[in-house]
Amino acid sequence: MPNTPPHNVPERFLNRELSWLAFNRRVVEEAEDSRHPLLERVRFLSIAAANLDEFFTVRVASLHAQEAGGSGPGDDGLTPARQLAAIRQEAPGLFAVQQNAWRVLRQEMADHRIPLLKTCELDASDLAHLEEHFMTEIYPLLTPVAVDPAHPFPFVANGHLALALLLHDPRMNKDIHAMVVMPRGVPRFLRLPRPDGEAGFVMLERTVQHFLPNLFPGFTVRESGFFRVLRDSEIDVQDDIQDQDNEDLTQSFERALRRRARGRVVLLTVNASMPEPLRGFLIERLDAAHEDVLLQHGLQGLADARQLIVADERPDLVFRPHQPHSNAVIQGFTQDAFATLRQGDLLLHHPYESFDLVINFLRQAAEDPFVLSIRQTLYRTGDDSPVVQALIAAAQNGKSVTAMVELKARFDEEANIHWARSLENAGVQVVYGFVSMKTHAKITLVVRREEGLLRSYAHFGTGNYHIGTARSYADLSFLTCDPELMADAMQMFNYMTGTAIPQPLRKASLAPLTLRTRLVELIEAEAQAARAGQPCGIWAKMNALVDPDIIDCLYRASQAGVPIELMIRGLCCLRPGVPGLSPTIRVSSMVGRFLEHSRILAFGHGHALPSPHALVFLSSADWMQRNFDRRVETLIPITHPDLHQRILREILTANLRDQRQTWLLHADGGYRKQAREGFCAHAHFLTGGGDATTD
C-alpha cells in the first residue's frame, strides 16, 4: 500500500491521461481473451487502436497546446510537460501490446481460413487477379511524387498511411526522395478469390509496394518504409465567431474543420525497419519532434483491422445475435406510445431492449394528427439517421419541430452540419445552442392536444440518438409524461434555444446551472447521515470521474464512513481504498461485449442500498469539470416504484456483482481483473435480467 496522500496535496488524484491509457489497456485485454469469439477479439483490438489514435489527436494535442501556452500544473501536480513525458514513457508499451495481440490474432485468423497474405505467398492466379485489381481500382487513384524543388512534399492527412522512398534514377545517375500516399476510399485489405469459401486478404500498402515499377518505371528502390501521421484534431471556433458576428455558425465550423485537417503532427509512426536517413527526411519535412516519433513493428493503423470482420460469412466467429426483450408494456408502447405513458413511466435498457422503440416513439409523434410540436436535442446521430428522418417527416406533416443540433460533437461535426441543413430545408427550426458550451443533454419533448388540453411527453436518455451505437452501448431511456418533469423539460429547451436562465426546476437538475450543486448536496447528505450513525450509501455509475471538487467531496464522505461503490468504465482520478483518505470507496470498471455507457446515481437517503427509499437518478453527465461547467447536461430523478427498484436491484446490483468482466482499481492506480469466471452482468441481461440480488 503506498503512503497515504495528504488531503491538501495533488497526489490524492491519479493523472487522467495515464488513467485513460490504463483503460485502453483493459480494452486490449479483451482482444487477448480467448473466451471471446475470434472476430470479436479483432473488433476489440480495432476499438483499442482507434481509441489510442483519438487520445493522441485530442488529449496529447491539448497537452502540447497547454505547454506552449505556459499552463501550470494540473490537479494532480503534473505540468503539461511532465504529463507528455509520462505518456511518451507509457504509450510505446501499449502500442507494443497491441501489436503482440495482433500477431496472435493474425495467426488464429489464418488457422480459421481467414488469412492475411503477403504478396510473396500468392500463386500465379492470385497475382494475376491482384494485378488486374491494382491497375483498374487502385492505380488510377495513386499520385507518385518525386520530392524536389518542383514537386513539394505531399500533404498526408490525419490517420493516413504513406510510403516513403529513396529511389535511384539511372538516367540522371542520382538518388531522389519519393512518396506515395495510400488512396482514400479504397479498402485497406483487398479480398482475393479463394477456394472453398476461404476469406483471403492482402494489404493495400503491400500491393502498392509490389507494383511500384508501374509507378516509377526504370527506378531502383534503395530505401523504403511506411509511415502514418496523427494530427492535432482540436477545434476552436470562438475567435472566428467573434470576428464574424453575423456569420452562420456552420460556416465557422466548416472553416475550423479545414484548419483541423492540416493540424500539426502529434505522432509520427514509422516502420521499425525504415533506414534512419529516410526517417530523418520524414521528420524534417513533416516538422515532427523527434520525441513524437514511434518506431513500430507490425501493422500501422490497427483500427482498420475491423475490415477483416467477415461476420456474415463466419457467424461462428462472432457473438451470437441477441433478440431484444419484449413484454406486454413494450408491445403496447409500440402500438400507442402515448396511451402507454399515460398509464405510467417506461424504462428501456438498451441494447437488451431495442432502441427502435425510441425511434418508433418519434415516428408516432411525427404521424399523430394530435401532436402539435416536437423538440429534440441532437448530439451524435450517425450517417443515416432515422431520428432525423422522423423530425423531417414531422415538419412535412405540418408540426412545429425544433432541433437543437450540437455542432461541437467531436468528429461528428461534418455529419451534424449536413443534418442541420437537411432539417432546415424541411422546415425544421434548427438552433445551435451555446458557442462556449456543448449541449450534451439527450431530451425529446412532444406536445399533444388531448381532450381540448395540451399534454407533454418526454424522452430522457443517458446515451445518444445514434441507432448504430445503440446496438452496442448499454444505456437507459426514460419516457414519461410526469407534469413536473414536463415543465422542467420545457424550461430546459427554452434555456437552450433562448439562452434565458430558467426559473428553479421542479425535479430535474441542469448543468451548468444547478447540477454540480445538487450533486454536492446529495453526497454531503450521505456524509451527514454517516456522522449521525444512520444507514447510508452511494452507488454511482458513469464513464469518467475527473472533477477534483467532486472527488474531494467523495473523500470527505468516505472519511465520514459512507460506503461508496463507483462503477467507472473509463478514466478515474480518484484513489480508492487509501486509509484516512478513501477507506470506504471501491472503484470497478466493466469492459465486455457491450460498452457500459449509462450514467446512474443512487443515494441511500437514510437507508442502506439497495432500498426502496433511496434517491435514484439518470444523467447525461460524467463527473468531469467540462460536464458540470461547460456543457448542458441533465440529472433526472426516477420515482416510479417499479422503475426505481429495477434500476437498483437489477441493473446496478448486476453491475456490482459482475466478476467476469470487471476490474478493480487499487490505490496505486493499477487495475486488477476480478476473475475469469463467475457472475457475468451482460449474460444476465441477455437472458432477461431480473432481480440480481437474488439471482
pLDDT digits (tens, 9 = 90+) for 212-252: 999 999 999 999 999 999 998 765 545 444 444 444 655 55
**For position 677, what pLDDT does the model report?**
84
Selection from 377, 373, 642, 598 nearest residue 477 by Cα: 598
Q: Is the pLDDT of residue 2 over 60?
A: no
- The count of C-alpha atoms lying within 13 angstroms of the C-alpha of 180, restricted to the half-sphere facing its C-beta, is 27
Average pLDDT over residues 559-573: 97
**For position 261, what pLDDT does the model report?**
54
Q: Which of 440, 459, 605, 644 is an active site residue?
A: 440
**pLDDT tens per residue across span 81-131:** 999 999 999 999 999 999 999 999 999 999 999 999 999 999 999 999 999
What's the pTM value of the predicted model, to 2 decimals?
0.92
Average pLDDT over residues 522-546: 98
Cis omega (within 30 of 0) for bond into 504: no
**pLDDT tens per residue across span 622-634:** 999 999 999 999 9
Q: Who wins on pLDDT, 678 or 565?
A: 565
**For position 68, what pLDDT does the model report?**
87
- Contact between 476 and 442 under an 8 Å Cβ cutoff? The reply is no
CA–CA dist 56, 515 (Å, integer) = 31
Percent of the chain surpassing pLDDT 70: 93
| 604 contact partners, CB below 8 Å, separation of at least 6 | 526, 529, 535, 536, 537, 538, 611, 614
**pLDDT tens per residue across span 262-316:** 678 999 999 999 999 999 999 999 999 999 999 999 999 999 999 999 999 999 9
Helix (H) or strand (E) holding 203, with range, is strand 200-203
CA–CA dist 575, 506 (Å, integer) = 35
**For position 638, what pLDDT does the model report?**
98
**For position 250, what pLDDT does the model report?**
59
Q: Which residue has the cell 466478476?
A: 659
Highest mean pLDDT among 64-78, 145-159, 200-214: 200-214
- Contact between 166 and 175 under an 8 Å Cβ cutoff? The reply is yes
* Local confidence band at 512 (pLDDT 50, 70, 90 cut-offs): very high
CA–CA dist 313, 334 (Å, integer) = 33
Q: Is the pLDDT of residue 193 over 90?
A: no
Average pLDDT over residues 451-458: 95
- 63-72, 340-349, 484-493: segment of lowest average pLDDT: 63-72
**For position 239, what pLDDT does the model report?**
47
Is position 440 annotated as part of the catalytic site? yes
CA–CA dist 512, 330 (Å, integer) = 34
CA distances from 151 to 220, 603, 653 (A): 19, 65, 63
- Contact between 616 and 598 under an 8 Å Cβ cutoff? The reply is no
Q: Is the pLDDT of residue 166 over 60?
A: yes
CA–CA dist 15, 636 (Å, integer) = 30
**For position 1, what pLDDT does the model report?**
41
**For position 234, what pLDDT does the model report?**
66
Which residue type sits at 199?
A: A
Q: Give me the helices (H) in 216-322, please.
A: 238-243, 249-261, 276-286
Dihedral over Cα of 269, 272, 273, 279: its sign: positive
- By DSSP bridging, strand 599-603 and strand 538-542 are antiparallel
Query: Cell for 204?
Result: 493495400
| 344 contact partners, CB below 8 Å, separation of at least 6 | 640, 642
| 467 contact partners, CB below 8 Å, separation of at least 6 | 355, 356, 359, 382, 385, 386, 387
Selection from 607, 616, 622 nearest residue 648 by Cα: 616
**pLDDT tens per residue across span 588-643:** 999 999 999 999 999 999 999 999 999 999 999 999 999 999 999 999 999 999 99
Residue 204 sits at φ, ψ, to 5 deg, of -55, -50
pLDDT, mean over the chain: 91
Q: Helices H, strands E: what count in the chain? A: 22, 27
Q: Who wins on pLDDT, 232 or 479?
A: 479
Q: Is the pLDDT of residue 3 over 60?
A: no
C-alpha triplet 368, 369, 371: angle, nearest 5°: 70
Percent of the chain surpassing pLDDT 90: 78
* Local confidence band at 402 (pLDDT 50, 70, 90 cut-offs): very high
